[in-house]
Structure formats: structure tokens, C-alpha cells
Amino acid sequence: MKQKGFQLQYHMMLIPGICFLIVFSILPMFGIVIAFQKFIPARGIAGSPWVGLDNFIYMFQIPDSRQIFLNTIVIAVSKIAMNLVVPLLFALLLNEVRLKWFKRTIQTMVYLPHFLSWVILASMFKVNIFSLEGVINRGLEWIGVEPILFMASNFWFRPIIVATDVWKEFGFGTIVYLAAITSVSPVLYESAVIDGATRVQRIRYITLPGIAATIVLLGTLSLGNVLNANFDQIFNMYNSLVLETGDIIDTYVYRSGLMAAKYGLATAVGLMKSVVSFILIVMSYSLAAKFANYRIF
């Protein structure tokens, strides 16, 4: 009896969160029927004419749709890979630092950009870092290289997007890895030292195998993001010249759906993305369950 009452309180505490989820995530889902309509806002969902799969057919006819899907996948996959590797390397390096206060300070500092909004960061990168007057071009000038218009270059745009995203987020990943590393038993390190293992050998044969499960888990869980290239970031950093390499599904949906009022088409593209993402999430969950023994249900 006591046990049951105890649980009820916790379930009660879930109620606000579940209400929130229903109102803002479940109910709006009925809006996906717009994808099969020529949606006229004044007539509402009930009054707008049905057009079957027209919006989807048109989506595949647009000359840019191939490019947009490709851009999304290239950018998102690069981000996933880099966001897996960079924090791991950084965590391994930081773990070797002996000075505790130094380690903590660095850890907090690299974590800070995670809390900044892309609106602010984008104008910072655009104006102070990658512009003709920016830090990088100043540096290039100093070593005698012609200045480069980074933000207008289709060659540089994707690397910049990936690099800035990693810069913003790697501190967060680092913390997860550091937490995993602390759970590796110190006994293993002690015995390795006694056996004469070098630092590199200790990382290679103790730390890495020790946190392998975490790495696999983070990797597989991020599979669900293969079609999420981060709207906030790209919307604030792109311009007409780099649409070729930088236009992603979400920015396209924004432009055609909200700017050009093609609600039906935009919903169709969004729905397509959600379906593919859903399949990927299911896949990543089963992979995570298989390789990392990670289960929610």
C-alpha cells in the first residue's frame, strides 16, 4: 500500500508535462492533414479542398528538392560525426589534466556557448569572424593570403556551419564523456601503471573500452537527427549565394510555407521529413538496444 501511494505522487507530478505535450505536440499533429489539402487559412482545415498527393508530387518536381535533401544529409551527418569525435578527443585530453581547478575551469568555459542563441552567434560569426574585416581575414592578410568572402562561398559554407556548430556544442558532449570516464574503475589504471603501461596505452586499452558503450549509445541515438541540420543556425547564417550548399529542408519549408504562404506544400515536406526521421529513430533505438543495451521501455 505504502509503495503504491508513493508512486502516485510521482505520476501526479507528470501531469503538467503531459498536458503540455498534448497541447503543444499531440494536438497540432492533426494539422498534418494540411499536407493533402490546398489549404486556405480563411476556410480552415474543414473547408479547404482536398488535393490528394498533389503536394507530394510537386515536391519531387521542384528542381531544388534533390539539392535540399542532399544538403540536409551532408550537413547533418558531418555534424553528427564531428560532434561525436571532437568531444571524445577533448574529454580524453581533459581527463589527463592533473590540475583540478584548471580542468574544471576549462570544462565550464567550453560548455558556455551551448547556452547562447544562434541569433547572437550568427551575427558574431558573420560580422566579427568570417567577414572581410574579420579575425580570420586579418590573419590571412598577415601571412599574405588574399582575403576570402567566406560567407558567400559555396566551398566554405558547409565547413563553417559544421565547425561553428561543433564549437557551440562540444562542451556539452565533453561533460557526458567525462562522466562516463569517471565511472571506469581506478583499480584498472593502478594495475596498468604497475604493469608499466604508458598514458597512450592506458587510454587505448582501458578508457576507450570502458566508455565504448556510451560512445555507441550517443552515436546511435543521434541517428534520429540525420535530417535535422539545425534551422536556427542555418537560417541565421545563410544568404542567397550559398543556397546551393546551405539550403536545408527546414529553411526551404520556412521560405515556401511561411513566406510564400504555400502551407500545403510546406506541410508535405515537413511530414516527409518527420516520417523519415521517425524510421531513423526507431532504427537507432533498436540498434542502441542491441549494441549498448539501452532500453527505455
Partner 1 sequence: MKFRLPVSLLILAMVVSLLAAGTGCQGPGGQTPTVPPTPTIAEDPGKWDPFGKYAEPVVVNIGRNYEPANNLPSPHTMEDNLFIDHIEERLNIQVKYAWLADPNSYNDKVNMIITSGDLPDAMLVKSLTQFNQLVEAGVLCDLGEAYEKTMSPYLKGIFTSYGERAFNTARFGEELLAIPDLNPGYHFAILWLRDDWLRRANATAPTTLDELVDLAKKFVDMKLGGAGTVGLATNGWLYGFNNAFPTLDPIFHYFNAFPGKWYRNGDGEYEFGSVTEEAKAALAKITEMYAEGLIDKEFAVRGGADVNALLTSGKCGMFFGPWWVPLWPINDTLRNDPEADWKPYLAPLADGDQYRIYRQNPHVQYIVVRKDFANPEAVMKIFNLEYAGIKKLDPDAGAIYMGLGVNWTTWPLPLQFDYDDMVVRQYEHYQEALDSGSTDHLDDFEKMMFADIAKNFENPRADVTVWANAVSRYDGMKVASDPRVVPLDNVFPAETELMQMKWDNLYKLENETYLKIIMGEEPLDYFDEFVEQWKALGGAEITQEVNDMMD
**Between 211 and 249, CB nearer to partner 1:** 249
Among 82, 216, 255, 294, contact with partner 1 (rule: CB under 8 A): 255
Is residue 12 a contact point for partner 1 (CB under 8 A)? no
**Between 57 and 112, CB nearer to partner 1:** 57
How many secondary structure helices (H) and strands (E) does the chain include? 15, 0
Is residue 196 a contact point for partner 1 (CB under 8 A)? no
Is residue 151 a contact point for partner 1 (CB under 8 A)? yes
Helix (H) or strand (E) run with residue 188 in it: helix 186-194
Residue in 178, 164, 162 with CA at minimum distance from that of residue 90: 178
Residues in the chain: 297
In the chain, the amino acid numbered 56 is F
Among 70, 179, 261, 279, contact with partner 1 (rule: CB under 8 A): 261
Is residue 5 a contact point for partner 1 (CB under 8 A)? no
Pattern 29-58, binding to partner 1, x per CB under 8 A? Answer: -----------xxxxx-------------x
- How many other C-beta atoms lie within 10 A of the C-beta of residue 64? 13
Is residue 127 a contact point for partner 1 (CB under 8 A)? yes
Is residue 146 a contact point for partner 1 (CB under 8 A)? no
Instruction: For residue 147, give the DSSP letter.
Output: P
Q: How many chain residues are in contact with partner 1, going by CB under 8 A?
A: 29
3-state secondary structure string, 75-129?
A: HHHHHHHHHHHHHHHHHHHHHCCCCHHHHHHHHHHHHHHHHCCHHHHHHHHHHHH
Is residue 126 a contact point for partner 1 (CB under 8 A)? yes
**Between 105 and 154, CB nearer to partner 1:** 154
- How many other C-beta atoms lie within 10 A of the C-beta of residue 127? 12
Name the residues that contact partner 1, by CB under 8 A.
Answer: 40-44, 58, 62-64, 123, 126-127, 131-133, 149, 151-152, 239-241, 243-244, 255-256, 259-262
